Amino acid sequence: MTIKVLQGKHIVLGVTGSIAAYKAVALASHLVQAGAVVDVIMTEAAMKLIQPLSFQAITHRQVQTDMFHLLAETEIGHVTLAKQADLLVIAPATANILARLAHGLADDMLSTTALATAAPILVAPAMETGMWENPATQENVARLKERGVVVVGPEPGYLASGASGLGRMTEPEALVEHIRMVLGARGDLAGRRLVVTAGGTHEPFDPVRFVGNHSSGKMGYALAEAARDRGAQVTLISGPTALTPPLGVNFTQVRTAQQMRDAVFAALPDADALIMAAAVADYRPVVAAEHKLKKTADSLILELQRNPDILAEVAQWQATSRPNLVVVGFAAESEDLIANAWAKLEKKRLDLIVANPVPETFGEDRSQAILINREGGMIQLDPLPKIDVAERILDRVSELIIDKGN
């Protein structure tokens, strides 16, 4: 699946002589599948552990190993790659390459490219614990961080020596998330603060049972991930889900509608936009039993009371405190989709509402949506992966933030 922040980006991947070099093949594969153009530079030591052909088969581009090799008749390899790169990633990064980068040495293709590039640099260290903890390595890492180099890892775990400790390279999937954050740091939402809610709420009527809905939280999590990729500072407030919060977002876990309401208002004062993707329960039991209710009768009657209407309260607060706050709501409807969504937009004074037919979109990886604004304009989206729907919503949010003078 292509990822917007990676699509068409030129990433130079440096591979050095650590046993973790095999993980770099998986990293290259993830990046290519996400739409990036990947050029691999291997050190001489790396080629003792893995063959250049492995990378060439995945990237469909020639692997660079020789500093004096010309990419074209007059193109000097390290200079050309340094200029073309949107990001230089060195994974795995040995203690040796960290030392050479820290001290500005340039005696092979990789170190020379690193010295020549103006692109951001991300390194993923991999080495034995003693080497990582050595004061020389720590001084080198500190110096690189001061220069703006992004250092990811290492992680604790089982090492090549058979020992366990700090020194494992961060896994490729997690590195892709860090790469997305670095590339998105200057996106159209850079410096903006977004609050996103996700998932359903659980309203307990005894210690083990609750009233809830089928929301998976996937749409809200996709919005948080996409906003992060565009440079936003994201607060994700989530009800119970089976999802892992995206890397780099401020995450708040809640259970009930009241807890979500409190978390939203705690996050709003500094926010530029609120995107209420959560499926908040409208009602909660009047009484929650202290102990598990026993099955003693043929029927059970629960008395319910209204939960806080978070968007209605936000509208009241916004009118006096933050009129330039952008507020986006969702309408999940089983009938009269557009009419019901429009009524909610007007009643809650929203800037944008995303109308979804249910139950078709609950729990699915794809979503069908209609975007409706205050002027009555509508954008109908064909069924798309939820990350793509999130991007379309954020396109409009970015415009609304500017329109409101934020």
**Exposure string for 120-139, b = 16+ CB within 10 A, e = fewer:** bbbbbbbbbbebbeeeebee
Structure confidence at residue 235 (pLDDT): 96
Q: Are 278 and 255 in contact (CB under 8 A)?
A: no
53 token code pair: 């052909």
Question: How many CB atoms are located within 10 Å of the residue 93 CB?
Answer: 31
For residue 400, which amino acid is it? L
C-alpha closest to that of 261 among 191, 213, 204, 203: 203
**Which residues face 234 on adjacent strands?**
194
Catalytic residue among 96, 140, 213, 250: 213
**Which residues face 103 on adjacent strands?**
none
* CA distance linking residue 184 with residue 161, whole number of Å: 37
302 token code pair: 């629960």
* CA distance linking residue 61 with residue 37, whole number of Å: 9
Structure confidence at residue 73 (pLDDT): 47
pLDDT, averaged per 10 consecutive residues of the chain (406 residues), comes to 88 95 95 95 93 94 78 56 93 96 92 93 95 95 96 86 86 95 92 93 76 81 95 94 92 91 93 92 72 72 79 88 88 79 87 80 72 83 87 93 78
C-alpha closest to that of 377 among 353, 402, 343, 361: 353
C-alpha closest to that of 19 among 153, 124, 137, 126: 126
182 token code pair: 């670095």
Distances, alpha carbon 257 to alpha carbons 202, 203, 237, 284, in Å: 8, 7, 11, 8
* CA distance linking residue 244 with residue 56, whole number of Å: 33
* CA distance linking residue 381 with residue 383, whole number of Å: 6
Q: Which H or E run contains 29?
A: helix 21-33
* CA distance linking residue 127 with residue 149, whole number of Å: 18
DSSP single-letter state for residue 15: E
Instruction: Please state the pTM of the whole predicted model.
Output: 0.87
| Active-site annotation holds for 307 | no
Structure confidence at residue 74 (pLDDT): 46
Distances, alpha carbon 33 to alpha carbons 6, 133, 160, 218, in Å: 10, 35, 29, 21
